[in-house]
A and B are shown apart, each in its own frame.
Chain A
Amino acid sequence: MAASRVCLVGTLLGKSINCASTTNPFTLQLCRQICGTPALHRKNLASLGPEKFTAEFIQKQIEEFEIGKRHLANMMGEDPENFTQEDIDRSIAYLFPSGLFEKKARPLMKHPDEIFPKQKAVQWGPDRRPFHFLFYTGKQSYYSFMHELYGKVLNIEKHQDRLRAKGLFSAEPKQISLGASRWLTKEELEASLVETISTQDYQRFIQLMERMLSMPYCSLEEEFILRHRQQLEAQSMHQVVPPLQKDDRGVDFSAAEGRRKTSKSSVVVRDCGSGCITVNGKDYLHYFPVLQDREQLMFPLQFAGMLGRFDLECTVSGGGRSSQAGALRLAISRALLSFVTEREGEAMRQAGLLTPDPRVRERKKPGQEGARRKFTWKKR
């Protein structure tokens, strides 16, 4: 106990001496000699944080990766110059076949930049002067970015003042076309700055950007603003519309497939005008005696308002009564997309007709009676 106390005092002394920037190696050595117990030499590994890799280490890894890539190409008998990452993955999967279920646990050969996490390089030069002028704030990238942003705001204001002085200030200058875009999220901003920010910092960033947008002459910094906006992808039709084909009698038809639980179905929708439906060669009234299943079949046609128009030729296999009906419904909706306008297709998507039902039977777990049901708990 006394020894540990002495050791602590020694390290405290050492730290305080370091802080006063007069590193006295003799004093530090003296501190080390005092505590001789091996147990006290054990480092607290958790407090060191995530492992840090030096720039030289990563450079060496990159060189080894390049050489290894060429060896691999030679082994597989392929051209070392044009050996892409996909070829590498293929070769590794061939040479080291692994039956492991978890894909991340399988043998892997990727560029070191993708494996080792991005880290900040050493921030100061050989004379120990930091490179960045905002180094002592702690969040240099974020604050320098805010400084730059504010500088741009001031620039725009100065430009506006100059125009006003000359009398050339127009009420409707060129506006920036933002389109359907949003500001970068906090995570995206952190990734671009390689630094963690707090929520308040992120809010300040948004406030300043909004202020810049509110100024009439913000089109001066259009490119800078658009760099920090993310285009929103249209949420709607990602559906692949099945092509409309013509059969030998001149009748339009389209085919589609659908799945639900373990059932698979394929449907050919013909634009005859009759409205007769066959499932696996049988009439649908015989195949689906239950009203509910027939309703499931009819619903896409009823929604589109084309009940009696089409002729359905369906094949379905696997599963039970209800899941076959669901699979057929999905297939019919997909086939109908080619007969229906885009707006109606979007309405169908929003109604949920085009979404495959992801519910599958959950497996039974050991130690339990079913997937969720546990064995009866007995107090004694």
Chain B
Amino acid sequence: MENIWGSVKSSVPVTGRIRMLETVRPRLSSSSFANRVLKQSDSFSSSAPFLTMVQCLPSSRLMEPYLYASSLDHDVIDLDKTAEHLRLALNVTAQTAYRSGIILFVSRRRQFCHLVETTAKDCGEYAHTRYWQGGLLTNAHIQYGPGVRLPDLIVFLSTLNNVFQQHVAIRDAVKMNIPTIGVVDSNCNPSLITYPVPGNDDTPVAMELYCRLFKMAINRAKDKRRQMELLYGLSEPSSASS
């Protein structure tokens, strides 16, 4: 996937505050990306911080390709793959935002509901962190009114709902041909998601990181769009991918 406004690689804003953990405790471990993680290929040295997952339910076998290691209680996700997938995902988000597409943030985690909604409001995009009524995507013309425009991209900051089952919106998005980005944890199923991003969806630090990254990507894309519109009048989005 080409990016349109320079290389995304260097512009992925991973402000790393490296936090060393004293004890590895399930569910309380947290860290953020380190800059060098992305640039090096063998970033997984023993002194580097790592993201650990909680295995509250049996971890999904479909997530095995994304895991670096897995012991009895903890699954460790391979950050190289995460970085690559996250880069792709941010690229897609930025592309969609550049072409003034509608982006919908979905998360059913109550602790981060307010954060996700604030992120969406700040970007100028949309959020849905509440109870998902059945026909919101598939029955849209009756639920909202004729002539409604559905989202062009759905970003799942947590793919599970409150009962630890896969969110209905994933299946609905596939039915309505809407591409999805999803932060998949070790107990999730990444098969239906177009751009899965293996990563932790439990800790506040991780969620804040994702929100910040997506917000920055969208804002930059929109600024670029406005810039192009000012320079060239009405810019054609198809010619931008060069």
Question: Hey, which bits of chain A sit against chain B, CB under 8 A?
Answer: 15, 18-21, 122-124, 127-130, 133-139, 143, 147, 150-151, 154
The 3 A-B residue pairs with the shortest CB-CB distance, nearest first, are: A128-B149, A133-B121, A137-B128
User: In the complex, what residues of A have CB within 8 A of residue B113's CB?
Assistant: 150
Q: How many A-B residue pairs have CB under 8 A?
A: 61
B147 touches A128 (CB 8 A): yes
Residue from the list B117, B130, B149 in contact with A133, Cβ < 8 A: B117
A21 touches B120 (CB 8 A): no
Question: How many Å lie between the Cα of A356 and that of B194 in the bound state?
Answer: 74
Question: How many Å lie between the Cα of A137 and that of B105 in the bound state?
Answer: 11
Q: Does B90 contact A (CB under 8 A)?
A: no
Number of interface residues of B (CB under 8 A): 30
Q: Does B133 contact A (CB under 8 A)?
A: yes
18 contacts between A and B (CB under 8 A): A19-B140, A19-B150, A20-B177, A21-B149, A127-B100, A128-B149, A130-B102, A133-B120, A133-B121, A135-B126, A135-B144, A136-B136, A138-B133, A138-B143, A138-B144, A150-B113, A151-B114, A151-B118
A21-B128 contact given A138-B133, A147-B114, CB 8 Å threshold: no
Interface flags for B140-182 (1: CB within 8 Å of A; 0: not) read: 1101110111110000000000000000000000001100000
B176 touches A124 (CB 8 A): no
Question: How many Å lie between the Cα of A143 and that of B127 in the bound state?
Answer: 11
B126 touches A18 (CB 8 A): no
A143-B130 contact given A19-B140, A133-B125, CB 8 Å threshold: yes
Question: How many Å lie between the Cα of A123 and that of B146 in the bound state?
Answer: 11
B176 touches A19 (CB 8 A): yes
Residue of B nearest to A143 (CB): B130
Question: How many Å lie between the Cα of A15 and that of B141 in the bound state?
Answer: 9
B176 touches A133 (CB 8 A): no
A134-B126 contact given A19-B140, A20-B177, CB 8 Å threshold: yes
**Closest CB-CB distance, A281 to chain B, in whole Å?**
75
Question: How many Å lie between the Cα of A53 and that of B125 in the bound state?
Answer: 29
Q: Count chain B CB atoms within 10 A of each CB in A21, A137, A139, A147 and give the residue with the most.
A: A137
